[in-house]
């Protein structure tokens, strides 16, 4: 008997058709658990990007004039087909990017809410009437879609990003070219199959797979692209911002984070420690809003470290399809080297490993560092792995100052029963998001999600995407 699994080769989705890259080239997409070949995908080049942008551009004048009730119906149909294809999506999240099943199901459920919320946007694209100083002049704004939107997505939450960004862009009448992460092309191809089946016209949504580092500039620098939505690392985000500036292409950048959690002495550690663990170790710290810095008031510091280590030691590292498994493999060899480097640099410079630091295959143990100093890479730089640093603080004020001592500004959290301090923190933390008595990891379809500084520019979510992906036109009528 031949037990060899047949490896599929994914194609681009352009103008409603599945087609090979022009050169017929492909690349390997590996399962991060054991680096086995998961799937092959089209390795696109500049011409494939040009074809996809041309298809989106040609479709835009027709698609923008579709009725809200039709776009709403197609979007809600996406949610129905996602429900029918739940097993495919969850399997893909597990085998393509190493999601433990609990993270895959969380992402799937969140994705459904994103699509359904986007359906509501179709009827919410509104301008307003404006009083005019000119006698007899009627003055108003009309909200219009921008045109071809480029969407570039990371590997870690591909379904959340697709369901939010693609759905919101389609809801307001834009057409799309998406370049998914080269480490997660299959999830986006599955999503394109679903969008296609849902009834969207050919050319409204196009997907080109390939290596973003090689072909991304052809998309973000394309003169026919009217808007760029990028999610990924701060380094690539900076580059994209510069490329966009050449054509004055507006963009939102959702980038990395070094998210702080401040814990004051009045909390109940039995409640806080499990949340602390979840806020960094979910999907092995490969979350932009994971908490990689904890500032804990000194009276409870030692007890916090002890309990945090205990909880970390019990986090499941077994079968990814076991609901108790939390710790995922690290996505790639390059990223594993980064995680190892951050730990060894910290240890070499005097940090203490309170728990973890070891590896099982491609999985890094949940790792808690104490005695972390400014000269250690892990102190200020995003690791994107299951590592967090725990610092003692002598006062709330010190916690706030240290939490703000960063170039990032994505998510943040404070745990305390003192409502005045909690609210003071929310008002004074330099992050785009703040959660009082909750984890840094939190997202909903209709909130303004995003950060400041190295964490990005702009916000996403139903309202924010509508603002970013449309423009107001001023129209007057002389009566």
Give the residue numbers annotated as catalytic, written as ranges.
Answer: 254, 288
**Closer residue to ligand NAD, CB minimum distance, 221 or 399:** 221
**Closer residue to ligand NAD, CB minimum distance, 116 or 239:** 239
236 is a site residue for ligand NAD (CB under 6 A): yes
Q: How far is the CB of 421 from ligand NAD (least distance, A)?
A: 27
In this chain, which of 98, 147, 203, 216 binds ligand NAD, going by CB under 6 A? 216
In this chain, which of 29, 95, 182, 454 binds ligand NAD, going by CB under 6 A? 182
Give the separation between CA 192 and CA 435, rounded to whole angstroms. Answer: 34
Give the separation between CA 411 and CA 452, rounded to whole angstroms. Answer: 10
385 is a site residue for ligand NAD (CB under 6 A): no
Give the separation between CA 390 and CA 95, rounded to whole angstroms. Answer: 32
166 is a site residue for ligand NAD (CB under 6 A): no
In this chain, which of 213, 246, 298, 314 binds ligand NAD, going by CB under 6 A? 213
Of 297-356, binders to ligand NAD (CB under 6 A) are none
Angle of the 46-63 helix axis to the 212-220 helix axis, nearest 10: 40
Q: How far is the CB of 287 from ligand NAD (least distance, A)?
A: 7
**Closer residue to ligand NAD, CB minimum distance, 145 or 158:** 158
Q: Quick one: CA torsion of 229, 89, 195, 467, rounded to 10 degrees?
A: -30
In this chain, which of 75, 240, 275, 431 binds ligand NAD, going by CB under 6 A? 240
Of 394-423, binders to ligand NAD (CB under 6 A) are 410
Number of residues near ligand NAD (by CB under 6 A): 30
Please identify, among the stretches 23-31, 126-134, 154-162, 339-347, the one whose residues bind ligand NAD according to the rule CB under 6 A.
Answer: 154-162
Q: How far is the CB of 231 from ligand NAD (least distance, A)?
A: 5
First vs last C-alpha separation in the chain: 82
Please identify, among the stretches 102-110, 137-145, 250-258, 277-285, the one whose residues bind ligand NAD according to the rule CB under 6 A.
Answer: 250-258
257 is a site residue for ligand NAD (CB under 6 A): yes
Of 425-464, binders to ligand NAD (CB under 6 A) are 456
Please identify, among the stretches 33-41, 44-52, 169-177, 214-222, the one whose residues bind ligand NAD according to the rule CB under 6 A.
Answer: 214-222
Task: Provide the pairing of β-strand 367-370 with 387-393.
Answer: parallel
Q: How far is the CB of 449 from ligand NAD (least distance, A)?
A: 6
- Size (the chain), residues: 479
In this chain, which of 147, 256, 260, 385 binds ligand NAD, going by CB under 6 A? 256
In this chain, which of 60, 155, 391, 425 binds ligand NAD, going by CB under 6 A? 155
Q: How far is the CB of 253 from ligand NAD (least distance, A)?
A: 8
Q: How far is the CB of 68 from ligand NAD (least distance, A)?
A: 28
Give the separation between CA 451 and CA 254, rounded to whole angstroms. Answer: 7
386 is a site residue for ligand NAD (CB under 6 A): no
96 is a site residue for ligand NAD (CB under 6 A): no
Q: How far is the CB of 443 from ligand NAD (least distance, A)?
A: 8
152 is a site residue for ligand NAD (CB under 6 A): yes
Q: How far is the CB of 447 from ligand NAD (least distance, A)?
A: 12
Residue owning tokens 């008997």 = 1
157 is a site residue for ligand NAD (CB under 6 A): yes
**Closer residue to ligand NAD, CB minimum distance, 399 or 456:** 456
Q: How far is the CB of 197 from ligand NAD (least distance, A)?
A: 24
217 is a site residue for ligand NAD (CB under 6 A): yes
In this chain, which of 45, 99, 156, 388 binds ligand NAD, going by CB under 6 A? 156
Which chain residues interact with ligand NAD by CB under 6 A? 152-157, 179-182, 212-213, 216-217, 220, 231-233, 236, 239-240, 254-257, 288, 382, 384, 410, 456
């Amino acid at each position: 008997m031949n037990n060899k699994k047949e490896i599929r080769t994914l194609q681009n989705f352009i103008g409603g058709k599945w087609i090979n890259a022009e050169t017929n080239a492909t690349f390997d997409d590996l399962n991060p658990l054991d680096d086995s070949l998961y799937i092959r995908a089209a390795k696109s080049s500049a011409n494939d990007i040009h074809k996809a942008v041309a298809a989106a551009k040609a479709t835009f004048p027709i698609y923008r004039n579709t009725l809200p009730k039709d776009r709403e119906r197609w979007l809600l149909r996406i949610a129905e087909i996602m429900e029918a294809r739940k097993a495919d999506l969850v399997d893909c999240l597990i085998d393509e990017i190493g999601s433990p099943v609990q993270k895959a199901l969380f992402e799937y459920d969140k994705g459904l809410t994103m699509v359904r919320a986007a359906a509501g946007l179709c009827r919410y694209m509104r301008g307003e009437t404006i009083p005019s100083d000119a006698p007899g002049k009627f003055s108003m704004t009309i909200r219009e879609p921008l045109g071809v939107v480029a969407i570039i997505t990371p590997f870690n939450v591909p379904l959340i990003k697709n369901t939010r960004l693609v759905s919101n862009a389609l809801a307001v009448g834009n057409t799309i070219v998406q370049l998914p992460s080269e480490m997660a092309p299959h999830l986006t191809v599955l999503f394109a199959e679903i969008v296609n089946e849902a009834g969207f016209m050919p050319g409204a949504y196009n997907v080109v797979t390939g290596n973003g580092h090689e072909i991304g500039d052809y998309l973000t620098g394309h003169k026919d692209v009217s808007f760029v939505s990028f999610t990924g690392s701060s380094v690539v985000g900076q580059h994209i911002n510069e490329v966009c500036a050449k054509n004055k292409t507006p963009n939102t950048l959702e980038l990395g984070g070094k998210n702080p959690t401040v814990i004051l002495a009045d909390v109940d550690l039995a409640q806080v420690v499990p949340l602390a663990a979840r806020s960094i170790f979910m999907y092995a710290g490969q979350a932009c809003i994971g908490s990689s810095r904890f500032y804990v008031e000194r009276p409870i510091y030692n007890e916090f470290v002890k309990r945090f280590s205990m909880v970390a030691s019990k986090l499941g590292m077994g079968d990814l399809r076991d609901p108790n498994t939390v710790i995922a493999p690290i996505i790639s060899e390059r990223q594993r080297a980064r995680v190892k480097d951050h730990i060894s640099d910290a240890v070499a410079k005097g940090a203490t490993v309170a728990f973890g630091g070891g590896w099982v295959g491609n999985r890094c143990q949940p790792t808690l560092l104490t005695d972390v100093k400014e000269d250690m890479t892990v102190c200020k730089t995003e690791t994107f792995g299951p590592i967090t640093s725990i610092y003692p603080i002598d006062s709330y004020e010190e916690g706030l100052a240290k939490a703000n001592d960063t170039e990032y500004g994505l998510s943040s959290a404070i745990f305390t029963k003192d409502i005045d301090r909690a609210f003071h923190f929310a008002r004074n933390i330099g992050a785009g998001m703040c959660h009082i008595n909750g984890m840094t990891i939190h997202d909903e379809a209709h909130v303004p999600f995003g950060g400041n500084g190295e964490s990005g520019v702009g916000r996403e979510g139903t309202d924010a995407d509508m603002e970013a992906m449309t423009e107001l036109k001023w129209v007057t009528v002389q009566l």
